[in-house]
Amino acid sequence: MLEVYIIKRFPSFELNVQLKLGREVLALLGENGSGKSTTLKVIAGLVTPDEGYVRIGNTLAFHSELGINLPPQRRSIGFVFQELALFPHLNVYENIAFGLKVRGYSKAKVNEEVEAIMHTLGLAELRFHMPSELSGGQKQRVALARALVVKPKLLLMDEPFSALDQRTKQEVREEVRNILETFSIPAIIVTHDYEDAAILADRICVLSNGRIENSEPAGAPELFEVVST
Amino acid sequence: MNAFALIRTLAGIAVAGFILLPVASVLISAGGASPEVLLSYEVVAAVKLSLLTATLSTLLIVIIGTPVAYHLARSDSALRRFLEVALNLPMVLPPAVAGIALLAAFGREGILGRYLASIGIALPFTTTAVVIAQTFVALPLYVRSARAGFASVSRTFEGASYTLGASEFTTFLRVSLPLAKSAVLAGVIMSWARAMGEFGATIMFAGNFVGRTQTMPLAVYSALQVSMDKALVLAALLILISFIILFTFEIIPKRRYADA
């Protein structure tokens, strides 16, 4: 599904990540500054690596030697940002419809798709609300709906629960897990929280100082040691 | 009340009086002028010309200034630094110098003007010259304001738009521009006001011809030598227009979107 081998050099840091993803949910676990968010942005085409390649499905999205570098628009990736980045000037409906509208779909088609996903994710009542009027969990669902409605091949989520308080977090995590199951879409979830990783992911990769240290099926207890040291 | 508080209060009253007294005096004196003055040919022509040229130059400024403002907010290129300096120049130049500079460039004998003249285009002393002079002095005001607006839009919104399939241009139209709207509008109003008030560059580069290049500030200056009444009426009209501009500026919703 996804094959990544990338090197990106920073003044005091080198990101060197190699990973493969099947039809599964992978958690990319690591401390702040370990390079997890950058890895996601490289896959999405928002950051250009110095070397390597990114293959998404059958599409070569980036290849340094072949000079291939598809822009984010052509990578068919759903991205849920850490800040969620819901467009503050658009209401829930318009946020979700954004990706469909820019593809030039007819009004009827846009409406049909948006209504369907709002129904699935329990957002129908909120369609005219502005993002600033939503709770943390509702925002998260809108961000997911907006990313998923255009039917991407792969979903990337950057620290999806970092903005939530502990109580909301458990609830939202459960929701996200159900959504991932409903849509059965391959996904990479970046997190610094082992519990997030264990609950959501089929497999966990630990990223430390810009390198993948360990890749194990979720639930392997020794991983917790790796992260906490 | 302690001494310092007293000084502050007195200074406040002095400043308000210093600004408001002359302004009020114009309005009061103009009120005594006969209504025929208001409808005289020169006055009507000047008002029409000012509204027309300031609006045209503001349109021109928005069309060329908006991409520049966005570029300045987003790019780190060498061009950016160069533009930065170039754009600050008209703001520190005395308007008369701006006028001379425009003549040196676009005048009949000017660096570019002599070639324009050879193909039959003469810019100086035309209404077009008024628009050029206003654009020259007012463009930086718009660009500065719009640029600050674009810079305040988080790049994450643009990244989100790209991953949703929107091109850079669509993203600019549907995300960056709406989010920078209040700063962009503020820039429009400031540059329009600056264009309305332009005097020095206009009189040097465009001259002072009634109905063609004599805008309201120029008409005030000319009228003063003939009839104080006419000068006062024109001045009062300019004050009213400025007041309307400032008021509009105040009521533009300064909407700051909560981080969503």
Q: What DSSP line would sit under B168-182, residue for residue? A: HHHHIIIIIHHHTHH
Q: A186 and A135, same structural domain?
A: no
Q: Answer yes or no: is pLDDT of B258 > 50.
A: no
Q: Do A87 and B154 touch (CB under 8 A)?
A: no
A96 close to B (CB below 8 A): no
Q: Which residue among A150, A181, A203 closes a domain?
A: A150
Q: B200 and B79, same structural domain?
A: yes
Q: B129 and B24, same structural domain?
A: no
Beta-sheet pairing, A154-158 with A187-191 = parallel
- Per-residue pLDDT reduced to its tens digit, A29-60: 988 888 899 999 999 999 999 999 999 999 99
Nearest CA in chain B to A79: B163
Backbone angles phi, psi at A165, to 5 degrees: -75, 165
| Continuous segment of H or E residues that includes residue A7 | strand A2-10
Indicate whether B55 belongs to any domain.
yes
Q: A129 and A63, same structural domain?
A: no
The DSSP secondary-structure symbol of A9 reads E
Q: A102 and A16, same structural domain?
A: no
Count of structural domains, chain B: 2
Q: B114 and B181, same structural domain?
A: yes
Q: Do A87 and B175 touch (CB under 8 A)?
A: yes
Cβ proximity of A23 and A220 under 8 Å:
no
Indicate whether A83 belongs to any domain.
no
Q: B51 and B27, same structural domain?
A: no
Q: Which residue among A97, A118, A150 closes a domain?
A: A150
Residue-wise DSSP of A145-171 = HHHHTT--SEEEEESTTTTS-HHHHHH
Q: Count CB atoms within 10 A of the CB of residue A102.
A: 18
Average pLDDT on A160-183 reads: 87
Indicate whether B13 belongs to any domain.
yes
Count of structural domains, chain A: 2
- CATH number of B42's domain: 1.10.3720.10
Q: Answer yes or no: is pLDDT of A226 > 80.
A: no
Q: B27 and B46, same structural domain?
A: no
Q: What is the maximal distance between C-alpha atoms in chain B?
A: 73
Q: B208 and B119, same structural domain?
A: yes
Distance CA B255, CA B251 (A): 11
Tokens 């302004």, residue located: B23
Q: B49 and B5, same structural domain?
A: no
Indicate whether B206 belongs to any domain.
yes
- pLDDT confidence band for B101 (50 / 70 / 90): very high
Q: B25 and B132, same structural domain?
A: no
Q: B94 and B14, same structural domain?
A: no
Q: What is the mean pLDDT of chain A?
A: 89
- pLDDT at residue B257 in the model: 60
Nearest CA in chain B to A163: B260
Distance CA A181, CA B173 (A): 35
Indicate whether B217 belongs to any domain.
yes
Cβ proximity of B161 and B23 under 8 Å:
no
What's the distance, CA B51 to chain centroid?
Answer: 12
Q: Which residue among A132, A150, A168 closes a domain?
A: A150
Cβ neighbours of B175 in A, within 8 Å? 87
Average pLDDT on B162-166 reads: 96
Quote the tokens at residue B204.
Answer: 């040097």
Q: What is the mean pLDDT of chain B?
A: 91
Domain hosting B121: range is 38-251
Q: B240 and B132, same structural domain?
A: yes
Q: B179 and B162, same structural domain?
A: yes
- pLDDT confidence band for B253 (50 / 70 / 90): low
Q: Which one, of A151, A141, A215, lies nearest residue A186 by Cα?
A: A151
- Per-residue pLDDT reduced to its tens digit, B118-157: 898 889 999 999 999 999 999 999 999 999 999 999 999 9
Q: A163 and A219, same structural domain?
A: yes
Nearest CA in chain B to A134: B260
Indicate whether A81 belongs to any domain.
no
What's the distance, CA A1 to chain centroid?
Answer: 15
- CATH number of A160's domain: 3.40.50.300
B34 close to A (CB below 8 A): no
Indicate whether A198 belongs to any domain.
yes
Cβ proximity of A88 and B179 under 8 Å:
yes
Residue-wise DSSP of A84-147 = ----TTS-HHHHHHHHHHHTT--HHHHHHHHHHHHHHTT-GGGTT--GGGS-HHHHHHHHHHHH
Q: A156 and A143, same structural domain?
A: no
What's the distance, CA A176 to chain centroid?
Answer: 11
Quote the tokens at residue A160.
Answer: 């999806």
Which positions 95-154 of B are in contact with A (Cβ < 8 Å)? 154
- Per-residue pLDDT reduced to its tens digit, A85-124: 999 999 999 999 999 999 999 999 999 999 999 999 999 9
Q: Answer yes or no: is pLDDT of A221 > 90.
A: no
Domain hosting A111: range is 88-150
Q: A161 and A117, same structural domain?
A: no
Q: Which one, of A164, A129, A160, lies nearest residue A144 by Cα?
A: A160
